[in-house]
Structure 1
Amino acid sequence: MTPVTTFAGQRVALFGLGGSGLATARALIAGGAEVVAWDDGAEGVAKAQGEGIPTADLREQDWSGFAALVLAPGVPLTHPEPHWSVRQAQGAGVEIVGDIELFCRERRAVAPGAPFVAITGTNGKSTTTALIAYVLRQAGRDVQMGGNIGTAILSLEPPDAARVHVIEMSSFQIDLTPSLDPSVGVLMNVTPDHLDRHGTMEQYAGIKERLIRGADLAVVGIDDAPSRAIADRRAERLVRVHVGAGPTQGEGLRAEAGIIRDAAGADLADVNGIGSLRGAHNWQNAAVAVAVAQALGLSADEIRAGLASFPGLPHRMEEVGRRDRVLFVNDSKATNADSTEKALTAFRDIHWILGGKAKDGGIFPLVPYFERVAHAYLIGAASDAFAATLEGAVPYTRCGTLDVAVEKAAQNAAASGAPEPVVLLSPACASYDQFRNFEVRGDRFRGSCRRSRKNGFSAPAPAPPAAWCRPPD
């Protein structure tokens, strides 16, 4: 835990008692603050009360006595309209912050300049956060990883000059961190997302830009127009990361065909053959990790070794095993066409399992990649709509359930003449028609594959990623 001492002796309102909210309450109390916590849901309030965290309906409190409102990132700050707790704080002139703001203040108070890497972006931020943390940890660094990737930042060990915090940040979290000042700020990319919470694309991009504005060093992917504009506004201490052919600009890195090169054209790393880093989107992730690792003093050999052994994250193009020459890949996190596009560009001879609760646009944007698909296996509520898009372009089988789809795909892939056919779960859909979330769907796929051991299925040797994602004991 990171005790928050910067509010010692002060009264603090806290709204939102999910995982990060409870962690924040504990950290504030440990640091000497007087906390009054609340939530719109009875379950969160009950959990807090069970831990002895003081609770009271904030609508009935005297807000003039509060030093701050600590708001959970899932609670609307501005759009579609401010939450009632936000309006009450604003009416009383009480500042509104989030848990990462508390961490930033604590860092400045107890360990100024302690290494702090903050990562954001519309896509790729979780894999990049995990990859940076993994490479640093493999090199022997004391690493604490958390934020939007799953572990609340105040649950981690406190900032220290010999400890690196690697923190994924959503736009919601950035919006609640006005004094964000990481050692290294990373912006992967900016494409339209969460506009229901930010109003406009300009507002969304502006929030993302704030992460690098206060950073000592900024690392920015420049393959989309908003990110290029953000990089152009950064005058100094900037590393631009570009994927594809062409020269880099200034101090930058380029990732082309899996080779990461510096501005002078010197090879820094080769991610070809690393299963967890397949595809152009992962070349960007790897190039960003190289830039950050260099900035934190790792040697070229340490960086290459970390990249080579990276096991990847669950449900994100996760190689769950093989049956003879057939590769099985769990990409359950691909809940829309844009995400599935990354997987379809990374493989050929694909036996594609897709379907679920469809998003707007369906799979029509994926038509240019249909030539990579040997056969499609349809599951869930989107089957009829997806069959209409596939008709005449890709042979398909209606399977209904995931277990049936895995068995049929495995049989057909094994019978094909392709050198490395791929059974790919990349649904391009939400999971809610058949599964509670994409994690449950991916676990079901993994289990269906592993039940085929009698038919020669072999799982990869590395431990599950969760084992290395957790902070060390």
Structure 2
Amino acid sequence: MDRAVVVGLGRSGMGAAKLLHSQGLPVSVIERGDDPLVEERAEPLRQLGIEVVLGLPLLPESFDRWRGALDMVVISPGIAWDHPTLEALRHEGIQVLGEMAIAWRALTHIPWFGITGTNGKTTVTHLLSHVLQSAGLSAPMGGNMGISAAEMALQLRQPDAILPDWLVMELSSYQIEAATEITPRFGIWTTLTPDHLERHGTVDNYRAIKRGLLERSGLAIFNADDPDLRRHRNSWDRGFWVSADGPEPGGCPADLWIDDEGLVCDQGGPLFSANVLAMPGRHNRQNLLLVAAAARMIGLSGNQIASGLASFPGVPHRLERIGSRNGCSMFNDSKATNYAAAEVGLKAMDAPVVVLAGGQTKRGDADGWLKQLHAKACSVVLFGSGADELHTLIASSGYDGPLHRCPDLSHAVPVALDEADRLGAISLLLSPACASFDQYKDFEARGDHFRDLIQHTI
């Protein structure tokens, strides 16, 4: 029988291995690491009868032991789609798939919302799942955050599983490019700004990957306020457009919008007040509209949508208010892993703001973020491997507020708190503008550490 080899023992890899094994396919897992922690992760798979081989890097010869029986190689989103070894495997006629592709094959009988975008997709995913479930529908979320799609598929294969009405799936560009067969019932595109260029090379490549998902969707929903999406609007012959800027953003008609009185409206008239959502910022009004559009399309009333929005508790690590001290509110925006996301977070803050930024720097246009720092930040505290680079960037922009450099968050938080007290800041914001991988396994771990540091102080 043909064999599948899964590369990596991360969340996606473990989910993929268990799902394929449950379908009766012989599965092996390779992992380049071989330390005790990796051994510990391998043990549950071995107990299921899944072969796990440690200490094998992603090289063509690592697959020699399965030559002749190897049919499929499954990769995690962290592995570049154009990795030379993957190209060699394709040349041999071996299928190379992302974990999301095998999950899709197992879940095609359930309709999907596929949500993508540079920023906003996590909030929209959480918010849409919450609104649907508050209206009595079963609509679990997963994919790029929370439970992996393969783990979700595995759970839904259990004999006692009750099939949900919808799946609300967040999809990153890494996942989309490795799963081009995904065809959601509805696709939602939140924003497009330069990101992951170290992986995709150009903005055009990055845009094309996300566009593919929307082209394959039964109906595509777009944020008409995003400059890049609006610039390419005429290239779409269908789609549903929403705007927080009124009925004609950029001179083009919106299908759902917020009017001058703060009411969400469609062609039939007002539906509910946008103020039902407690989350701050214009960008969250755009997120609200994307969710409302999707919910309306499957039959929810304005009252049902408004009720769900009003009860939404917020998204961890995205402008998450975690406390206050001496009149200064503390916000965890660890999800802001690029300049554009950090710019959005700063725009939503009341000034003056003490900003914590740093981590593993990424390519991208920092001009908008720097403009917000000039407008709102009374002090900036930098940390992690990118602190020196960011210090040079901010100082060269002419920022004249205090700039501090610290080795890590543990040192940076006390400095930021002292600055907030000294300068009378209204807000203290962790919005890193960088990836977390210099010191953390992911942005969630970074945000959790920040929350712990703050809550042990205030």
The alpha carbon displacement at 1:320 in A equals 1.2
For 1:315 and 1:136, the matched residues in 2 are separated by: 22
The alpha carbon displacement at 1:199 in A equals 3.3
Q: Contact 2:354–2:378 at 8 Å: present in 1 too? A: yes
1:471 alignment counterpart: none
Aligned length in residues: 429
**Is structure 2 residue 12 aligned with structure 1 residue 25?**
no
1:411 alignment counterpart: 421
**Is structure 2 residue 45 aligned with structure 1 residue 51?**
yes
Q: Contact 1:76–1:83 at 8 Å: present in 2 too? A: no
**Is structure 2 residue 271 aligned with structure 1 residue 247?**
no
Q: CA RMSD in A?
A: 3.3
For 2:433 and 2:262, the matched residues in 1 are separated by: 29
Secondary structure of the structure 2 residue equivalent to 1:67: strand
- Post-superposition CA distance 1:204-263 (Å, at most 9, x none): 222111111221221122334553466544434x21123424526567222467946344
1:388 alignment counterpart: 395
1:87 alignment counterpart: 87
Q: How does 1:188-199 map to 2 (within 5 A)?
A: 188-199=190-201
AA aligned to 1:405 is V
The alpha carbon displacement at 1:187 in A equals 1.4
Q: Contact 2:356–2:416 at 8 Å: present in 1 too? A: no
AA aligned to 1:196 is E
For 2:124 and 2:333, the matched residues in 1 are separated by: 16
The alpha carbon displacement at 1:119 in A equals 0.6
Secondary structure of the structure 2 residue equivalent to 1:36: strand
2:450 to 445, 454, 463: 445
AA aligned to 1:122 is T
Q: 1:87 and 1:143, CA in 2 relative to 1: closer, same or farther beyond 3 A?
A: same
1:127 alignment counterpart: 123
Q: 1:168 and 1:344, CA in 2 relative to 1: closer, same or farther beyond 3 A?
A: same
**Is structure 2 residue 34 aligned with structure 1 residue 42?**
yes
For 1:169 and 1:200, the matched residues in 2 are separated by: 19
For 1:255 and 1:369, the matched residues in 2 are separated by: 25
Secondary structure of the structure 2 residue equivalent to 1:12: strand
2:429 alignment counterpart: 424
Q: Contact 2:116–2:188 at 8 Å: present in 1 too? A: yes
AA aligned to 2:286 is Q
For 2:222 and 2:391, the matched residues in 1 are separated by: 41
Structure 1 residue runs without a partner (length 5+): 1-8, 454-473
AA aligned to 1:378 is V
AA aligned to 1:89 is L
Q: Contact 1:125–1:188 at 8 Å: present in 2 too? A: yes
Q: Contact 2:319–2:345 at 8 Å: present in 1 too? A: yes
Q: 1:451 and 1:428, CA in 2 relative to 1: closer, same or farther beyond 3 A?
A: same
The alpha carbon displacement at 1:271 in A equals 3.6
Q: Contact 2:264–2:273 at 8 Å: present in 1 too? A: no
Q: How does 1:215-234 map to 2 (within 5 A)?
A: 215-224=217-226, 226-228=228-230, 231-234=233-236
The alpha carbon displacement at 1:346 in A equals 1.4
Q: Contact 1:406–1:448 at 8 Å: present in 2 too? A: no
2:136 to 118, 132, 140: 140
Which moves more between the two structures, 221-230 or 90-99? Answer: 221-230
Q: Contact 1:355–1:386 at 8 Å: present in 2 too? A: no
For 2:72 and 2:438, the matched residues in 1 are separated by: 41
Q: 1:335 and 1:122, CA in 2 relative to 1: closer, same or farther beyond 3 A?
A: closer
Secondary structure of the structure 1 residue equivalent to 2:220: strand
For 2:377 and 2:208, the matched residues in 1 are separated by: 42
For 2:360 and 2:12, the matched residues in 1 are separated by: 30
Q: How does 1:109-124 map to 2 (within 5 A)?
A: 111=109, 114-124=110-120
Q: How does 1:60-71 map to 2 (within 5 A)?
A: 60-71=64-75
The alpha carbon displacement at 1:26 in A equals 0.7
Q: 1:36 and 1:432, CA in 2 relative to 1: closer, same or farther beyond 3 A?
A: closer
Identity %: 30
**Is structure 2 residue 318 aligned with structure 1 residue 316?**
yes
1:158 to 149, 156, 159: 156
**Is structure 2 residue 145 aligned with structure 1 residue 149?**
yes
Which moves more between the two structures, 256-265 or 189-198? Answer: 256-265
For 2:206 and 2:290, the matched residues in 1 are separated by: 22
Q: 1:369 and 1:135, CA in 2 relative to 1: closer, same or farther beyond 3 A?
A: same
Secondary structure of the structure 2 residue equivalent to 1:146: strand
1:467 alignment counterpart: none
Structure 2 residue runs without a partner (length 5+): 57-61
